[in-house]
Structure 1
Amino acid sequence: MNKSLAIYRRLLGYTAPYRKGFVLAILGMVVAALTEPFFPALMKPLLDEGFVERSGVPLWMVPAVIILIFVVRGIGTFAGHYGLAWVANNVLASVRKEMFGHALKLPASEFEREAAGLLISRIVFEVNNLMAATSSVLSTLVRDTLIVIGLLAWLLYLNWQLTLVAFALIPVMAVLVRVFSKRLRNLGRKSLEHTGELTRVVEEAVHGYKVIKIFGAYEREKALFDRTVERLRGFAMREAIASGAMAPISQLAAAIAVAAVVSIALVQSMDNQTTVGGFVSFVTAMLMLLGPLKHLADLNGPLQRGLAAAENVFALLDRNAEPDAGLRTIGRARGEVVFENVSFRYPGAARDALSGIDLAIGAGEMVAFVGGSGGGKTTLANLLPRFYSPTQGRILIDGVPIEALTLESLRDQLALVSQDIVLFNDTVRANVAFGVRGPVAESAIRQALRKAALDSFVDGLPQGLDTVIGERGAKLSGGQRQRLAIARALLKDAPILLLDEATSALDTGTEREVQEALEQGMSGRTTLVIAHRLSTIERADRIVVLEGGRVVEQGRHEALLALGGAYAGLHRAQYAASAAAAD
């Protein structure tokens, strides 16, 4: 219970910037709730004096008062509903913005550890349950609690002995809430987990539709989706049973209390201890209690779902962002990069991915990293922008340890073209200028496209630079997507360029064009190239061969071939494979 209160208090903390709307909502609910006891209160004088003693009250006043009560209640209800909806939607937007902003700052390991679908589900779907916890739940809790208090106060005024019977409902309701809360919270949590799993399955199917079709995996994916839907349905039905059983049990307890009250009231009326008006007013108020009590009993289901969602949302927000303890900033670096005895091991791995790497890369030097899969090439490139931190050793740029630099200053020195091309559902212009601060001249964008051998293609598009390329660049070919990523890196004009299989999706002719453009773009900047096609790095200033996370050879292309070692073996194997493919 303490944990639930802590979560709810934290959630309510998001309403602080919108306190005016919150106050309006509470006032509206208070006004609406205060009008409830007026109707049964009107019954007593109406029956005791209006019909029996002919009090002389004008005939029009009774219906006028009834209408006035409902007008005031309607205004209060609308104000409460609108105010809470305004607050809840603002809270929803605030939490979503905070979640997305925080998610972008999570370490790379977090993105690799958690499926994208689960992260999407938290930001897009689970946070919606917070709407229930901040609007409908709070509205019912405040309004109906005040109604119950008002009606009980009137009942106490009328007949305190009978009211004690009504009070017997309170411990019964408390026990019911306590019994069902834990089960509803657990079921709600599991339901949210399976909703995230369902999102993951759909996301994989949408992005992998070509593979599914080619490999005839329709039935497999459909069965996986069906199993996930059925599990979700099962949890939803168990939740419905637990939530639904609470209402009739609560109503039965209330009916027993009402029956007892009516019996006692009939006995009192025989002894002239109560009037007809008092009896009718009391029974009316008692019956009016059933609605709010039912609402409060039904509240537990959405409340527990909202708190389960809040747990997941806050769990994401409480994850540590990638460390950024550096305080130093530099302008444009010269581009000197040094690896000093650098080792790295992925969490849970049995051996180091990199071990004892010592490299000094001069400013403006082009260094290529080659070797078999799992040799550590991409891991080495991931350490430079601090996607990961070395488990041993350090990395320096211009003599400054990268941990001493702020992340913004460090990454300002880097531009990246990876084999996993990331483009956005926006225009060509926006994708090339992605992340560049301030306005970008069209001439600079066109120059970057020209260097990437993509200018003639873009000029032929219907809207030119303003053509939308679709989700993940779906309207472009693989080669065009890669060249657009290269143009983006060239426009950034960073002093250090990271090329991770930058030409892997290009045909031979286009690769030659882009390679020439890249060589021009590399001029005056330090370039680290990861390549499997050895033909693309023959003119590198230095080639570093990695095997098992260690440097086994380094030197120029001709020297390494003459050495007849690991590089020469890779070279022979690759050209033999190319010759066989050509035959």
Structure 2
Amino acid sequence: MKVSPYIKRLVEYHRPYKNRLILAFLGMLVTAATEPIVAYIFKVLLDHGFVENPTFPLWLVPVAVIGAFVARGASTFLTTYMMSWVSTRVLNELRQTMFDRILHVGIDFTSVKSTGSTINSIMFEVQQIIDMVTKIFISMIRCTLTIAGLLAYMLYISWSLTIIALVLMPLMTFLVRLTGKRLKRLNKDSLTVNAELTQVIEETTRAQQVVKIFGGQAYERQRFHERAEKLRRYSMRMVSVFAATVPLTQIMTACAMSVMIMLALIQASQNQITVGGFISFFTAMIALLAPLKQLAEVNGPLQRGMAAAEAVFHLIDSPIERTTGRDLPARAQGNLSFVDVGFRYREQERAALTDINLEIGAGQTIAFVGMSGGGKTTLVNLIPGFYSASAGKILLDGTWLEEISLSSLRKQIAMVSQHVVLFDDTVVANIAYGDPEPDMERVLGAIKAAYLDDVVAGLPQGVQTPLGDNGSRLSGGQRQRMAIARAIYKNAPILILDEATSALDTESERAVQAALDQLMKNRTTLVIAHRLSTIERADRIVVLSEGRIVEVGSHQELLDKQAAYANLYRMQFSGDGKQ
């Protein structure tokens, strides 16, 4: 029988805890042993106790019965505790491994796996794996041991009756195999639907303002209803398959029991079995039903767990960013060279960038403009190594970026985007993000340089005030300046500004632009411009169109050319169109 590779990997996760698993196994062994002991007590009582002169002291009865159940209770507690201890550790390790993988996957990870699907894998699917392992380990091993012990005792009482009981086993195996494939398929599909439902909840929660202002409540309610109903239907299909397994097992058991009772009556009439022996056998047989039923029920969590394991390990195996390259010996100067650079996104035929050649000196401010889809964001995303160039080379101070480790490269870069990301943490934690020991003097300096003094002073706990979900305590302009303060604190030699003022009103833009002027001093700055008025003082402006550089020059030089940049400028300021 071929063992699933997912099972092998799960075994490796459990291997460090083998001592505790051995203790859990010993607990199961004791629990299994108590089953035939209870049946044996009934035999002794009926054959030797309910007579005129019992052959044993009566005080042994409560001692034996209580002793058996105390041993059973202690062993059951040991098994449950040890398995829970191990399973919670493995659960945390799997979640940590998945989270670590998310931290190191490429920037295009979300294009193949949605946020809702990722959350679903970490919170829900991994729990199903643990439930599967716990259920299988306890049920299959303990039930198998119990069945083995009870069958051995039943053989001791009557081999002919036991053979009839054994007929049940292959029938149950056939039934489990019959339902297993359908359960696995249904579970896999239900996990996909569950991820879709999680995505709807995540998107709706995140987009409350858009939903309300555009009246999307009915649309979102319908989306939620469709996926919830689809998930319910899958759940009912699984329940119907699973629910049918148990009664069918019980019917087969009842048939076997009927035949055994008839045979036992015949044997009793021929003095081949005593009343105590028959009751003891019958007790053992009844006790056999519970572990047999549990074994039949293992198939459900097993198939759910296997479907979840496929999704979880697929995430864990997601390709990560490159780990090659050396660390830079010192702070970079900030000279950047693009040599015949080309780039193509995966599964796209058209190149996003073609033949990019550009020299950027240390401390220069270079602005990138062009129509949407021209390649501006793609070009600057190559510098921090979010993507690797498909052709040509990008050099930092003469060193090819691919020869620099990503961690060392990114230490040289700060970024401020129009899509500000703030964390539900304090002002200090957001500004000094990534620094395990924030320098308060630098934090306060960054706050001042970003013109946030009054804002922070007005917060309830000053710099120790939590900012809420994505900085919900702050206005748009204040959030943008908080991101600028974070970049000021990092003090990197290269700065990327990705349309940092495009979403702001005029008043907020002035405050943010003043903060940006402070930030850009003595840094190599790459600006993706939305409002052309904000880049008039750039050392050079690079005009991109369909992934190619079509013009390079200062603001006035490009206006004098009366070509691509001049057309963009006229479009923006004449009101005839938008960039």
What's the TM-score, normalizing by structure 2?
A: 0.97
| Preserved contact between residue 88 and residue 131 of structure 1 (Cα < 8 Å) | yes
Aligned to 2:326: 327
Q: What secondary structure, in the 3-state scheme, does the structure 2 residue paired with 1:350 have? A: coil
**Alpha-carbon shift at residue 18 of structure 1 (Å):** 2.5
Q: Could you give the per-residue CA deviations for residues 3-34 of structure 1, whole angstroms, max 9, x where no partner exists?
A: 54x32232132122323332222221211111
Aligned partner of 2:220: which letter? E
Aligned: 1:290 with 2:309: no
Matches within 5 A, 1:420-459: 420-436=419-435, 438-459=436-457
Cα separation, partners in 2 of 1:134 and 1:472, compared to 1, 3 Å:
same
Distance, in Å, in 2 between the alignment partners of 1:301 and 1:291 is 17
Aligned to 1:33: 32
Aligned to 1:499: 497
Unmatched segments (≥5 aa) in structure 2: none
| Preserved contact between residue 484 and residue 519 of structure 2 (Cα < 8 Å) | no
Distance, in Å, in 1 between the alignment partners of 2:292 and 2:112 is 45
Matches within 5 A, 1:269-280: 269-280=268-279
Distance, in Å, in 1 between the alignment partners of 2:101 and 2:461 is 35
Q: What secondary structure, in the 3-state scheme, does the structure 2 residue paired with 1:473 have? A: coil
Aligned to 1:478: 476
Distance, in Å, in 2 between the alignment partners of 1:550 and 1:25 is 66
**Alpha-carbon shift at residue 537 of structure 1 (Å):** 0.9
Aligned to 2:553: 555
Q: Could you give the per-residue CA deviations for residues 87-132 of structure 1, whole angstroms, max 9, x where no partner exists?
A: 1111111100110011111111112232111111111111111221
Distance, in Å, in 2 between the alignment partners of 1:199 and 1:3 is 32
Aligned to 2:51: 52
Cα separation, partners in 2 of 1:525 and 1:548, compared to 1, 3 Å:
same
Cα separation, partners in 2 of 1:163 and 1:171, compared to 1, 3 Å:
same
| Preserved contact between residue 12 and residue 134 of structure 1 (Cα < 8 Å) | no
Which of 9-18 and 151-160 deviates more? Answer: 9-18
Distance, in Å, in 1 between the alignment partners of 2:368 and 2:137 is 60
What's the TM-score, normalizing by structure 1?
A: 0.96
| Preserved contact between residue 330 and residue 409 of structure 1 (Cα < 8 Å) | no
Aligned: 1:536 with 2:529: no
Q: What secondary structure, in the 3-state scheme, does the structure 2 residue paired with 1:125 have? A: helix
Aligned to 2:2: 2
Distance, in Å, in 2 between the alignment partners of 1:231 and 1:22 is 39
Work out which of the residue numbers 489, 512, 520 in structure 2 matches 1:522: 520
| Preserved contact between residue 480 and residue 512 of structure 2 (Cα < 8 Å) | no
Aligned: 1:469 with 2:467: yes
Cα separation, partners in 2 of 1:306 and 1:177, compared to 1, 3 Å:
same
Equivalent pairs: percent with the same residue? Answer: 49
| Preserved contact between residue 484 and residue 515 of structure 2 (Cα < 8 Å) | no
**Alpha-carbon shift at residue 579 of structure 1 (Å):** 12
Q: Could you give the per-residue CA deviations for residues 44-102 of structure 1, whole angstroms, max 9, x where no partner exists?
A: 22211122363431111112200100000000011111111111111111100110011
Aligned partner of 2:94: which letter? V
Distance, in Å, in 2 between the alignment partners of 1:172 and 1:456 is 78
Aligned to 1:230: 229
Aligned to 1:203: 202
Aligned to 2:360: 361
Unmatched segments (≥5 aa) in structure 1: none
Aligned to 2:567: 569
Cα separation, partners in 2 of 1:117 and 1:472, compared to 1, 3 Å:
same
Distance, in Å, in 2 between the alignment partners of 1:12 and 1:96 is 16
Which of 41-50 and 67-76 deviates more? Answer: 41-50
**Alpha-carbon shift at residue 352 of structure 1 (Å):** 1.2
Aligned to 2:415: 416
| Preserved contact between residue 451 and residue 514 of structure 1 (Cα < 8 Å) | no
| Preserved contact between residue 450 and residue 518 of structure 2 (Cα < 8 Å) | no
Aligned to 1:135: 134
Q: Could you give the per-residue CA deviations for residues 538-557 of structure 1, whole angstroms, max 9, x where no partner exists?
A: 11111101111111111111
Distance, in Å, in 1 between the alignment partners of 2:37 and 2:388 is 69
Aligned: 1:99 with 2:98: yes
Distance, in Å, in 1 between the alignment partners of 2:102 and 2:52 is 73
Q: What secondary structure, in the 3-state scheme, does the structure 2 residue paired with 1:157 have? A: helix
Aligned to 2:398: 399
**Alpha-carbon shift at residue 563 of structure 1 (Å):** 1.3
Distance, in Å, in 1 between the alignment partners of 2:466 and 2:263 is 77
Matches within 5 A, 1:25-174: 25-52=24-51, 54-174=53-173
Distance, in Å, in 1 between the alignment partners of 2:264 and 2:508 is 95
Aligned: 1:184 with 2:168: no
Distance, in Å, in 2 between the alignment partners of 1:346 and 1:198 is 29
Over 4 Å off, 4+ runs? none
